[in-house]
Structure 1
Amino acid sequence: MMRTNKPSNSNSIFAVKPILLAISFLLVFILVILLRSSSLPTTKPLSCPPITNPLPDSSSSHTCNKLSLATAETLVHYVTSNITPQQTFKEISVSLRVLNKKAPCNFLVFGLGYDSPMWATLNHGGRTVFLEEDKSWIQQIQSKFPDLETYHVVYDTKVTHASDLMEIGKREECKVVEDPRVSKCELSMKRNLPDEVYDVEWDLIMVDAPTGYHDGAPGRMKAIYTAGLMGRNRAEGETDVFVHDVNREVEDKFSKTFLCDGYLSEEEGRLRHFVIPSHRARSGRPFCPL
């Protein structure tokens, strides 16, 4: 999240009208909750049944469906906060549509920011994992949201390496689909991530980190390539990969090259959505569709 969703002096980091955006996020959550509720079996009560015995010593139980504590806390957080996520409502809506179809699912997010509780809540019942480069920022966010599953990641690149890494990516070893840990391509994140990240087949991957807005920053070259490799290397099915900040040169070129124009499903503002099919399920599939 570009350090994207951290406090910054850049005016582009925060929305101009945070109160209106907070209301928008609230409406999104309500929509999701209503959609989920409508899909429940009709044999389950959708609201609290009437209390037949109001006496305090009554032994009868009184149960109903209600919001989880995490969902409630997330709603309160966005409604009361004057800091909003960097992605626009339309950009978030692209990922939301996919989550509505696939959740609960496995969702991997490169980055940790003010929008992290939102992603975890929208994937209620699934597993949402965040990868972050800044240990102090992890501590700050987890002090408010301790249940977020987050791992510290060390990147060994800089934005200034992008041109060299693009040339490396053209080599044949970078077109081989395999586990990122054993890939011979220098773009693959071989040892940077914990095993539990490599061992999961991710249904959605959001690349909104690491920092990439200045030359000395790590850049998202390896994150984008590795996200695509994970998607291709799954046993079957498809992986939805989202890349944010495609208005920047690295995100633009690396997403088109390694996630492929042919797999591009949608683009909204600074967000691109790619649908990467399993290459293991169909042998002989080219790295990018012809």
Structure 2
Amino acid sequence: MRSSKTQFSLSLKLLLICLAFLFILFLVLRSSSQPSSHQIPPLFSSSSSSNSSDSDQTTCSQAPTCTKIPPSLAQAMVHYATSNITPQQTKKEISVSLRVLERKSPCNFLVFGLGHDSLMWTALNHGGRTVFLEEDKSWIDQISRQLPSLESYHVVYDTKVSDADQLMEIGTKEECKVVGDPRFSKCGLALKGLPNEVYDIEWDLIMVDAPTGYHDAAPGRMGAIYTAGLMARNREQGETDVFVHDVDRTVEDKFSKAFLCEGYLTEQEGRIRHFTVPSHRTVAGRPFCP
């Protein structure tokens, strides 16, 4: 999720500013369509004058709060407008997840990785819960000092990219096709050391953009991809949108196709793939991959 310090993308700034403008315009139009709190009450109102006064005071006191920019959006606008660091995903790649968030937010959004785009994801999911899982404890501390509103947890991975072929073979075993809570899975690919609440929540969106996977000694995303798919299949009903970034790399390419399934592939833009994985608990006998 971390990227080199280069010039911030103008197109991404424009995207965020446009979103903010549209949100403010929506609030203004909504507030203007509502009756004014200072209108004279109707002559034949059945309520007493004291009740009308109380109602007017309540409306007046609530109106300013309703028309404010959400704190998460305001913070994101300031952060990115004053930053010279570019998020790793391109505008087109971000737009893939944005389209789903526009439809589903506020929702539960789990992100493997904590980075310079984390505040953006939180702002785009305003009113929902966005949780970040990060392997680097010192990086969490650094980001938390800058952006204390983000909800992040430290995760320890016990795999390496060099183990990918062996883990792929493990993933073909029958125990890895069993749908259930990852904490109790017998599959060697399932991540069992995540915070308990991560397993207890049904995630509407899951973004796999970590852990580090660009060299052999790095943890790799084998377990994260498999576990994301298992969580999606194990939800009680509905479907989960799962995104995998860096699919131009071997691990992300092969593991996403194998465990999120090409049959569930909805879209690919650049280096990001979008899978829509349905619940397997609502249809008896549904195969692991369609």
* Aligned match of 2:46: none
Give the whole-Å Cα distance in 1 for the aligned partners of 2:232 and 2:140: 26
Q: TM-score, normalised by structure 2?
A: 0.86
* Aligned match of 1:161: 163
The percent identity for this pair of structures is 65
Deviation readout 1:36-80 (Å, 9 max, x if unpaired): 649x9x5x5579x7999xxxxxxx756331102221111011111
Closer, same or farther: CA 19–179 of 1 in aligned 2, 3 Å = same
* Aligned match of 1:209: 210
Conserved? CA contact 2:182–2:191, under 8 Å = yes
- The equivalent position to 1:21 in structure 2, one of 12, 33, 47, is 12
Conserved? CA contact 1:206–1:242, under 8 Å = yes
Q: TM-score, normalised by structure 1?
A: 0.86
Give the whole-Å Cα distance in 2 for the aligned partners of 1:189 and 1:36: 42
Give the whole-Å Cα distance in 1 for the aligned partners of 2:129 and 2:92: 24
Is residue 280 of structure 2 the alignment partner of residue 279 of structure 1? yes
Give the whole-Å Cα distance in 1 for the aligned partners of 2:159 and 2:25: 42
Is residue 79 of structure 2 the alignment partner of residue 88 of structure 1? no
* Aligned match of 2:179: 177
Give the whole-Å Cα distance in 2 for the aligned partners of 1:110 and 1:46: 41
Provide structure 1 residue ranges, at least 5 long, that are not aligned to the other structure.
Answer: 7-12, 53-59
Give the whole-Å Cα distance in 2 for the aligned partners of 1:270 and 1:254: 14
Provide structure 2 residue ranges, at least 5 long, that are not aligned to the other structure.
Answer: 40-56
Matches within 5 A, 1:249-288: 249-288=250-289
Deviation readout 1:230-282 (Å, 9 max, x if unpaired): 00000000000000000000000000000000000000000000000000011
* Aligned match of 2:132: 130
Conserved? CA contact 1:110–1:208, under 8 Å = yes
Partner secondary structure for residue 184 of structure 2: coil
Conserved? CA contact 1:112–1:132, under 8 Å = yes
Normalized per residue, the structure richer in helix is 2
Q: Which amino acid aligns with 1:197?
A: V
**Structure 1 vs Structure 2 CA RMSD:** 2.5
* Aligned match of 1:55: none
Partner secondary structure for residue 231 of structure 2: helix
Q: Which protein has the larger Cα radius of gyration, Structure 1 or Structure 2?
A: 2
Conserved? CA contact 2:5–2:84, under 8 Å = no
After the TM superposition, which parts of structure 1 deviate over 6 Å for at least 4 consecutive aligned residues? 49-52
Give the whole-Å Cα distance in 2 for the aligned partners of 1:17 and 1:199: 37
Q: Which amino acid aligns with 1:156?
A: D
